[in-house]
């Protein structure tokens, strides 16, 4: 795979070489119908156009003339692999079928900067995990002290809560600062006000392709068969609203106002070369959470922050997906162990991804240590939490053997509260 090349021009630093081929949904100024495409270099390949010309799988059902990836995701891993292999063949440097068909290239290939990218999946359910031990320890230390930082269940199961799928938005969508009930520590009663402690959360998520049957758990050995692909996630958080509301049932209004995801879905097949051993787990999880091999992925994750006074953003943190204590396979196995069924389009997110070092912390709550250690920006400003006009940009990339697989980015600008 590392040596494979395409006839299209792909910059050396591109997130989208031929080895990647992530899926998304797009439209163009001349054709506002949404359809499925793949990113290749700085361009988008229109799969609906290739399908019309009989260059993909064929058959009675059209998979790509669709407003979402759901139809394709529901078709199963054998179809995913067949389409990927066909695209690799069509885009190969030495294949003339698409390379030398100039009218078809004109119809099916568009510049990324000239298309509109849309939410790639119709999301039915959204589950947010809490899978980073470093993050859980940091937050627990702030509120309960280091000796009681992790809850008794943390090292035994992947903690999670059910989020709000209707407010998942694609990259570039502005996020309105929420208002809600807030109770300052010095007050005996709450008041209603705009959130003052608005935060980002560095996460990744994956979409369920093939669903499962109600009442039948998914075994950990089969868990990845249900995973279609991964996206970057910023699960915005209103910390002061959450402090008041979260007991006893967990976050609600503090999390339901917006979750941002990147528009390109990177498949499990594209990530295979970047597998890495999963974290050591002590105590040993119960048998239904034990996987062989126990593996994760080496994905570098960067957080940039840009204030309205800045011409370009500052890198404020760098973490890695491999720091997660609970792997995606374990998350699927635990989610379904009760018999809960998964459905095509379900989004499962990792929770905030933090590493062991300060620069690897995945939220402002940690980076500023609950507001006590302000972050210095290149503009001369400081930040403890997000202010109106701030833009958060998260990117992710895997690098090995002379090529990279990237996720692009997920960005969002904070708008004032209404």
- Residues tagged active-site: 135
Distance (Å, whole) CA 107 – CA 245? 52
- Which residue is associated with the tokens 């379904």? 336
Distance (Å, whole) CA 185 – CA 196? 14
List 116's β-bridge partners, or say none: 27
**DSSP secondary structure of 79-147:** HHHHHHHHHHHHTBTT-HHHHT-HHHHHHHEEEGGGSEEE--S----EEEE---HHHHHHHHHHHH-GG
Sign of CA dihedral 190, 191, 197, 203: positive
Among 87, 63, 59, which Cα is nearest to 75's? Answer: 63
Distance (Å, whole) CA 72 – CA 187? 53
**DSSP secondary structure of 201-255:** -EEEEEEE-S---TT-PPPTTTGGGGEEEEEEEE--EEHHHHHHH-TTT--STTT
Distance (Å, whole) CA 390 – CA 412? 8
List 195's β-bridge partners, or say none: none
Q: DSSP code of 242? A: H
* Residue 293, preceding peptide bond in cis (omega within 30° of 0): yes
Please, is 85 exposed, middle or buried when counting C-beta atoms within 10 Å of its C-beta (0-12, 13-18, 19+)? exposed
Q: Using an 8 Å Cβ cutoff, are 23 and 263 in contact?
A: no
Please, is 150 exposed, middle or buried when counting C-beta atoms within 10 Å of its C-beta (0-12, 13-18, 19+)? middle
CA dihedral 247, 370, 255, 125 (to 10 degrees): -90
Convert 120-130 to b/e letters by CB count within 10 Å (16 or more is b). Answer: bbbbebbbbbb
394 three-class SS: strand
Distance (Å, whole) CA 35 – CA 27? 7
- Which residue is associated with the tokens 């990744």? 204
């Amino acid at each position: 795979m590392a040596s494979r090349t395409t006839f299209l021009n792909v910059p050396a630093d591109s997130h989208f070489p031929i080895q990647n081929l992530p899926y998304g949904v797009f439209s163009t100024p001349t054709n506002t119908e949404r359809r499925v495409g793949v990113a290749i270099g700085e361009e988008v390949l229109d799969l609906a156009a290739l399908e019309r010309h009989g260059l993909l799988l064929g058959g009675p059902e059209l998979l790509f003339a669709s407003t979402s990836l759901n139809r394709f995701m529901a078709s199963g891993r054998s179809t995913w692999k067949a389409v990927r292999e066909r695209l690799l063949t069509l885009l190969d440097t030495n294949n003339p079928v698409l390379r030398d068909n100039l009218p078809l290239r004109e119809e099916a290939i568009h510049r990324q900067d000239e298309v509109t990218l849309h939410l790639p999946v119709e999301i039915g359910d959204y589950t947010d995990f809490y899978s980073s031990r470093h993050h859980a320890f940091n937050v627990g230390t702030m509120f309960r002290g280091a000796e009681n930082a992790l809850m008794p269940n943390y090292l035994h199961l992947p903690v999670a809560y059910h989020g709000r799928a209707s407010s998942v938005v694609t990259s570039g969508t502005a996020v309105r600062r929420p208002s809600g009930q807030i109770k300052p520590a010095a007050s005996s009663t709450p008041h209603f006000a705009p959130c003052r402690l608005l935060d980002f959360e560095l996460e990744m998520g994956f979409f369920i392709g093939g669903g499962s049957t109600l009442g039948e758990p998914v075994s950990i050995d089969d868990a990845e068969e249900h995973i279609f692909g991964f996206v970057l996630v910023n699960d915005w958080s209103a910390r002061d609203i959450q402090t008041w509301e979260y007991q006893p049932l967990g976050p609600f209004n503090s999390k339901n106002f917006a979750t941002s995801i990147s528009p390109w879905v990177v498949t499990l097949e594209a990530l295979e070369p970047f597998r890495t051993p999963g974290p050591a787990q002590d105590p040993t999880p119960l048998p239904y959470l034990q996987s062989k091999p126990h593996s994760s992925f080496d994905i570098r994750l960067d957080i940039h922050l840009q204030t309205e006074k800045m011409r370009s953003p500052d890198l404020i943190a760098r973490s890695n997906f491999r720091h997660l204590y609970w792997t995606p396979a374990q998350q699927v196995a635990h989610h379904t162990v009760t018999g809960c069924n998964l459905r095509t389009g379900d989004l499962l997110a990792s929770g905030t991804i933090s590493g062991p070092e300060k620069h690897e912390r995945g939220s402002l709550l940690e980076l500023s240590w609950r507001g006590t250690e302000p972050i210095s920006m290149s503009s001369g400003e400081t930040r403890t939490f997000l202010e109106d006009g701030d833009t958060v940009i998260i990117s992710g990339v895997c690098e090995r053997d002379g090529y990279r697989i990237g996720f692009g980015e997920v960005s969002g600008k904070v708008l004032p509260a209404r």
